[in-house]
Structure 1
Amino acid sequence: MFDAVVIGLGAMVGAGVFAVLGPTAGAAGSGLLIGLGVAAVVAYCNAMASARLAARYPASGGTYVYGRERLGEFWGYLAGWAFVVGKTASCAAMALTVGAYAWPDQAHAVAVAAVLTLTAVNYLGVQKSLWLTRMIVAVVLAVLVAVVAVCLGSAESDAGRLEVGLSDGGFGGVLQAAGLLFFAFAGYARVATLGEEVRDPARTIPRAVPLALGIALCVYAGVAVAVLSVLGAGGVAEATAPVADAVRAAGAPGLVPVVRVGAAVAALGSLLALILGVSRTTLAMARDRHLPGALAAVHPRFRVPHRAELTVGAVVAVLAATADVRGAIGFSSFGVLVYYAIANASAWTLSPAPLARVGPAVGLVGCLTLAFALPGASVLAGAAVLVVGMAAYGARKRMAGYQP
């Protein structure tokens, strides 16, 4: 249980809290906290749907497996495709965040080095990944607690800056902020994708997922309130590193280097868990021949999908060398929201009881609403990649002699 919660926290309490506050404040202004609440509600519905499904189907692959079993092969494939593509972009964003905080002048080189190092850690097995993730989560939580204490205890802190309302972007801006914030919440799926590697998954996963999400929500809410109380919505929107800027404005410049190190460590934690989750979904899709069958190989000693690990690591390294972090966040959010929409649709079929379907219905509508509220470029790019995936599925079915 403890290790499963740590894996989820390692994916959620990561670089998102350091990087996403600026763009969301720019979209929602003083409505940032409303957006955080909306994202949390949708994430909670998704978490409960994922937990119920993981208890029924404790196998690696997450919604790829759930969609296939509950809705049909195509929907499982589409979920897996959206997850692998979206989370590969997330990996690149996390790697670039490591570089931006650790060595801004060589951000891309540091990002590639981080990807290669953590791919090697994952290759050696999930237990070694858990050991490193425990350390990362402990460091990041300590840094964030210090940030909240310094900001809220500062003379610069003003509760009047926390006034919640709608900015010029209106309700659409709040929804866009919620969609971007969802990028930071989505890590709880890492627990479900490890269905074959946790003890007693039918009992552990449904408890670990909401617990990890609840802890992450408390952390994000505390940091958002602390930063807003010092900088205000306008200051957060203009800041390139809002958490570090808030600490500096609060009169604690000596803590700024600690925050920079904490941000880099947080991004490493997210990257570690993301590579772990993407490779496991790749394994499940390769087993069903939706991806090359060679990727389904499991290492005889380390018991990990080593070819999938190496392939994912190589693709992420290329993206980390060439991509832009803000564009990667929006693109990733679209893919992941589509993935969870399919998860909620799958959970809808588990029980005909009306009360049991309320959560999946809210989650499904919420995911689709937030996905299409994202910046237009992210929506267009994400939709285009989904169409490419659907075309590949149809081509494979035709080549196999079946109707698409």
Structure 2
Amino acid sequence: MAHSQLVRHTSLPGAVLLGLGAIVGTGAYVSIALATEISGSWVLFAILIAAFVAACNGLSSAQLAAVHPVSGGTYEYGYQFLNHWAGFTAGWLFVAAKSASAATAALAFGLYLLPAFGLPTGLQIPLALLVLLLLMVLVNGGMRRSNKANLVLVVIGISALVVFSLHAIGAADSTQREQVLNFDSSIAESIGWREFLGSAALLFVAYTGYGRIATMGEEVSNPKRTIPLAIVATLVVTTALYVLVGYALLHTDLFAQGLGGGEQELALVALTEQGWLRIVVLVGAAVALLGVILNLILGVSRVILAMGRRGDLPAATAKLNQHNTSAPNSVYAASAVMMVLALLGDVQLAWSFSAFTVLTYYGITNLAALQVAKEQRFIPKLVSLLGLISCVGLVFFIDWYVFAAGCLFIAVGLLWHFLQRKP
């Protein structure tokens, strides 16, 4: 059965903004501070390692999207280049992982915003549900409206990060500057290779928003050119931003004393004093988190759309609106899953689960990229091979109970897939 296709509204700048919008929130405002606490003065090297791993995986995604530009990302690539088991597993993992990430971002939105207005933290879950509902309505307005909103969110989120970073570097005292330049030996000696690579694994997860560009393949203009360029541009801008923020964090008290634990303290706002800078960071973080949620609703809904088209999910999820600018039922389904997880979710557990599922997802991405015919390739197979090895290696830095739960989740999904196909 032929399906209606979504309209190709998104240009190269819009695609780059999609990638940045999916990265800047939880990545820059939470993860880098946590990675700095773990790896200290080596955080800049951890960022570069994570960037290399992300580049390998991003180029594999770009290679696949260029030769098979449809909505669904690795879910579709798995079907096209591997088999239905790999394709279904990728879609199953993506929907779960990114729904959990969206729910986490919605809950984190309250952690930033409620204290700023002196409101009780008991409003965190209702606020998260309201945010998800409002952004669901926005996404159903189509890509043109979503792209305009995303532009505003990304500009504000990145601007706040730049202001924070420049202020932190400029306000540092002489002792902090000397530690940054000399890579304090006592701190370096206390960091083992496992902690260092663990922080790199954490930072890799903070890069993976570029995958949203590939999942939007059906709505991108001239996808064979636009998608690869957008992924590369997103990775370059993100790496520069992460290095700036990481370098700035080394000039704060975090480098010398750590943050002391706690969800609220693992954020940049914990490193600012009361005043204008705190307001800038709070607004920037809140807006960036809205951008993350917006892009996750878009990405997850498009994978649900693809799964509905193949019959892996109910056929109703594959229905488009009258003008073919949105897929309302898939957006409703994605938002509903996110809202349920917002009611039940735990921020730390959701992040670890997302790490496991993302690494498995990109392992399948690289396996699929290795199957692309030689005449259609624009990247060497070595890039995809390095991406595959890095994904498999980093999985072993995930907590064992999360690893076990992730494997069980995959098994349940495969059982569902088997029963669906049996007739």
In the alignment, which of 152, 156, 163 is matched to residue 146 of structure 1? 163
Separation of aligned partners in 2, 1:111 and 1:25: 28
| Pair 1:381–1:76, CA change in 2 (3 A) | same
Match of 2:240 in 1: 218
Q: Is the 8 A contact 1:351 1:357 kept in 2?
A: no
Match of 1:95 in 2: 106
AA aligned to 2:270 is D
AA aligned to 1:61 is G
Q: Is the partner of 1:229 in helix, strand or coil?
A: coil
Match of 1:192 in 2: 214
Separation of aligned partners in 2, 1:232 and 1:90: 25
Q: Which moved more, 1:142-151 or 1:231-240?
A: 231-240
Match of 2:368 in 1: 346
2:395 is the counterpart of 1:371: yes
Separation of aligned partners in 1, 2:419 and 2:40: 45
2:298 is the counterpart of 1:291: no
Separation of aligned partners in 2, 1:312 and 1:138: 26
Match of 1:121 in 2: 138
Q: Which moved more, 1:349-358 or 1:71-80?
A: 349-358
Separation of aligned partners in 2, 1:308 and 1:16: 26
- Percent sequence identity over aligned pairs: 35
In the alignment, which of 71, 81, 90 is matched to residue 70 of structure 1? 81
Match of 1:171 in 2: 193
Q: CA deviation at 1:325?
A: 1.2
Q: Is the partner of 1:173 in helix, strand or coil?
A: helix
Q: Which moved more, 1:317-326 or 1:183-192?
A: 317-326
Separation of aligned partners in 2, 1:384 and 1:35: 30
Q: Is the 8 A contact 1:30 1:167 kept in 2?
A: no
Q: CA deviation at 1:247?
A: 3.4
2:271 is the counterpart of 1:246: yes
Q: Which moved more, 1:16-25 or 1:2-11?
A: 16-25
Separation of aligned partners in 2, 1:69 and 1:222: 39
Match of 1:388 in 2: 412
Return 5+ residue gaps in structure 2 as ranges: 1-11, 116-120
Q: CA deviation at 1:241?
A: 4.3
Match of 1:270 in 2: 292
Number of aligned residue pairs: 396
Separation of aligned partners in 1, 2:408 and 2:53: 24
Q: Which moved more, 1:232-241 or 1:329-338?
A: 232-241
2:25 is the counterpart of 1:14: yes
- 1:359-385 deviation line (CA, Å, top 9, x unaligned): 101100111211221223332222221
Q: Is the 8 A contact 2:40 2:250 kept in 1?
A: no
AA aligned to 1:379 is F
Map 1:315-354; keep pairs closer than 5 Å.
Answer: 315-351=337-373
Q: Which moved more, 1:264-273 or 1:318-327?
A: 318-327
Return 5+ residue gaps in structure 1 as ranges: none
Q: Is the 8 A contact 1:26 1:238 kept in 2?
A: no
Match of 2:3 in 1: none
Separation of aligned partners in 2, 1:113 and 1:102: 14
Separation of aligned partners in 2, 1:117 and 1:370: 36
AA aligned to 2:173 is E
TM norm structure 2: 0.88
Separation of aligned partners in 1, 2:68 and 2:26: 30
| Pair 1:231–1:302, CA change in 2 (3 A) | farther
Q: CA deviation at 1:99?
A: 1.1
Map 1:309-320; keep pairs closer than 5 Å.
Answer: 309-320=331-342
Match of 2:172 in 1: 155
AA aligned to 1:57 is H
Q: Is the 8 A contact 1:87 1:332 kept in 2?
A: yes
Map 1:227-242; keep pairs closer than 5 Å.
Answer: 227-233=249-255, 235-238=257-260, 240-242=265-267
Separation of aligned partners in 2, 1:253 and 1:16: 24
- 1:331-366 deviation line (CA, Å, top 9, x unaligned): 111111111111111111224599811110110011
Q: Which moved more, 1:173-182 or 1:275-284?
A: 173-182
- 1:264-313 deviation line (CA, Å, top 9, x unaligned): 11100011001100000111011111111111111113621111100111
TM norm structure 1: 0.92
AA aligned to 1:366 is S
Q: CA deviation at 1:234?
A: 5.1
Q: Which moved more, 1:294-303 or 1:113-122?
A: 294-303
Match of 1:209 in 2: 231
Q: Is the 8 A contact 1:25 1:234 kept in 2?
A: no
Q: Is the 8 A contact 1:40 1:185 kept in 2?
A: yes
